[in-house]
Chains A and B, each alone.
Chain A
Amino acid sequence: MSQPRALWNPYVAGIALGVVLFLTFIVTGHGLGVTGATTSITAVTTATVAPGAIAPHDYLAGYVRRGLDQWIVWEVLGVAIGGMAGAMLGRRFAGRIDGPPKANTPTKFGLALAGGLVSGLGARFALGCTSGMGLSGSAPLGAAGFLFLIGFFAAGAAFGLLLKPLWQRRSAI
């Protein structure tokens, strides 16, 4: 199998990301995001699979009404296409179970599920995730974006250091 290509330098990636984000503001009037789409998809799927599970006065009722034909849902479809294209062209596409090297597969799946749950909950608290609030809120210098990032990195680092033993690889001699 051929070697994966090198990743972009972080500054180069940052400039590219900054340009894409700027273009998004110019084209749409708002930034990039993700959980607007995952919330819509969750709401519509739940309402379809279990009619009545989302009551008319529920938080998610508006998302059910608005449906899936929204800019951010199309954008997330694009993210999936672009992510796959990047992995394919960079020869980095490989089926695998990733996560902390010291954890076994059920633990990796459990951590991913639990992490996703906390993340999904948090994104509704903040009305956005790392992309929609952290990045797109901070680019026009919004105070909310920076407040989000402070909470994100502080709590993330606390838990990251707590879970560090699970990520330690056998040291190279």
Chain B
Amino acid sequence: MIAPLDFVGPISGIALGIGFGFVLENAGFGNPEILTGQLRFTNWSVFQTMFTAIIVSSILLNVAAFFGVVSFSNIFIPSVLFWGTLLGGMFVGIGFAVGGYCPGTSIVGFMSGRVDAILFLIGIGAGTLMFNMIYPLIGSWIYTQTGPDALTVPQLLHIPAWAVIALLGAVLLGVGYLVSKGKLTASCEAPRAGVGMPRGAAVPHKRSTI
């Protein structure tokens, strides 16, 4: 077992963070219109990018584990704290719809010049302090664990990891097919390239075709 290497110092953090931030920005995830477009079903790039990332890293982790490079027992897998995990996901989703960002994308949004994103970040601080205040009232029930430590979907459904990855891949490809046919996209809200826009205006959401 070579990995994890346990490089957890500043250089490791800054280098991997730069990669993360650079990819998020180039995916268009500093832009709240693209981000929230997923929730209005006008833009599917958040789903497609996230699902692709989950599948790719999952395949790489499983291949690395197969060749003995890494063991899943040495990798952090969160346990299910049912109410905390579910309600937390819902709150972060609501914050995403209302504020236009999630925590990571608000940093990218701010660093690409968006002033509103700094208010989102200040809001995160306020929400954190609010949690600190209400924690004595809720801590006991939101952090109650359901199932064993580090429960995985393969354990839960009693199917091998490759089957779960294949299932996720099928969902990703199915969504991609429907999006390409225009069947999942609600009426296009953004003006199409060059139509009804001032001459020389930037084309929104333009993507390379590769």
Contacts and interface: CB of A to CB of B under 8 A. Distances in A.
Interface of A: 3-4, 6-32, 34-35, 38-39, 41-43, 45-46, 54, 58-60, 69, 71-87, 90, 92-100, 108-109, 111-131, 133-164, 167-173
B26 A151 contact: no
28 contacts: A4-B206, A6-B207, A7-B206, A14-B52, A24-B20, A27-B12, A32-B20, A38-B121, A60-B129, A75-B13, A77-B17, A80-B111, A82-B24, A83-B30, A86-B112, A97-B114, A112-B99, A112-B123, A116-B95, A117-B126, A118-B127, A126-B89, A139-B61, A143-B153, A153-B47, A159-B39, A159-B98, A160-B40
B104 A131 contact: yes
Contacts of A159: 39, 93-94, 97-98
Nearest to A147: B85
Contacts of B110: 80
Interface string B15-37: 11111111111111011110010
B51 to A, nearest CB: 7
B17 A115 contact: no
Contacts of A95: 113, 115
B184 interface: no
Interface residues of B, number: 143
Contacts of A15: 52-53, 56
B125 A22 contact: no
B46 to A, nearest CB: 8
B132 to A, nearest CB: 5
A113 B38 CA distance: 21
Give 10 closest A-B pairs by Cβ, nearest first.
A115-B99, A78-B17, A116-B123, A14-B52, A126-B88, A122-B91, A160-B39, A120-B127, A18-B56, A74-B13
